[in-house]
Structure 1
């Protein structure tokens, strides 16, 4: 079974990090990845280099690790550019406590905003008010209370905040890539 089409989730990537001796959460790098794809169309090579740098290794330790890390980029790019708007940030899922999930969201946001800040003011001038507002709201997520009790109320709050991060990432991507995804389908004249 090839890893190429395997769906990369938080745990798979975290396990890949562990293989490389790193305990860090993939959430921070996923935030960076999303913003980098939106702003710089980061290449597969550049992404692999960034991950390795972050893990403190020179290169992935084996072929399957490299494939997983590249699959993660491809999957994120596919989701960001898909017309279904089904992009999801790579965050801890239901198997994790609410506190771990909140921390994941916070780390993701920090990574995402770091790349946005590094982009400087040049791209910002072209951004819509909606995008600027979404990014300002994200700033608030960097200081969210992560020590959450598991409760339906906190669960709902966290879901809403995650949805916010998700929308901000998609908005950034679509504004930097007009015409992808084609949200408003225009009927193309058909040629017979």
Structure 2
């Protein structure tokens, strides 16, 4: 089984970033990736370009790193387009403090919203369902999340609810932009 076939988590991608001398969290780029796949269908080549530019390198340092970064894109696209709705943002897990998890969610939302602001003009936004519009508006407020959290079950539950909201907003955006045929661009052809 190649690296690309394995399910990757936050730490796997963070390790690739570290290999390239970057301490940045993958969460921001994962938010961008999710929104790009929903709104523009970013190609593998364009995605690799975006990541290497963000890491401040010209290309991945080795084939395994390139494979892992491309696998990240494929995994995200597969999850967004799957009928079982199993997409999950690439965020720090329970091995990280609640504050680090909250920071990851905040960065994910900032990356996601950056693409939405770049790509989704008023005409596109007016075609969105009311629930999607409201979910996207809510995500815009995630940039204000307080990341100075004490470890408590209440804070953990709140953070879980916010993460679930981000997950659902991402899936709604992808689904509305790719109705019925997730791998095919939407056309204005009438449905028979």
TM range (shorter): over 0.9
Task: Quote the residue 1:47 is aligned against.
Answer: 47
CA distance in structure 1 between the aligned counterparts of 2:123 and 2:14, rounded to whole angstroms: 34
> Which residue in the other structure is 1:76 paired with?
76
Asked if 1:108 is matched to 2:108, the reply is: yes
CA distance in 2, matches of 1:180, 1:28: 27
Partner of 1:21: 21
Aligned to 1:11: 11
Other-structure match for 2:123: 122
Shift of 1:34: 0.1
Q: CA RMSD in A?
A: 0.9
What is the CA-CA distance between 1:70 and the residue it aligns to? 0.3
Give secondary structure in 1 for the equivalent of 2:80: helix
Q: Pairwise mapping of residues 1-192 of structure 1 onto structure 2 (< 5 A)?
A: 1-119=1-119, 120-180=121-181
Unpaired runs of 5+ in structure 2? 183-192
Structure 2 match to 1:188: none
Q: Which runs of 4+ in 1 moved over 4 A?
A: none
Q: Please, which runs of 5 or more residues in structure 1 have no aligned partner?
A: 182-192
Q: Distance in 1 between matches of 2:140 and 2:83?
A: 27
C-alpha deviations, 1:147-176, integer Å up to 9, x for none? 100000000000000000000000000000
Q: Distance in 1 between matches of 2:21 and 2:35?
A: 26
- Using structure 1 for the length normalisation, give the TM-score: 0.92
1:16-55, Cα deviation, whole Å (9 max, x unpaired): 0000010100000000000000000100000000000100
Q: How many residues align?
A: 181
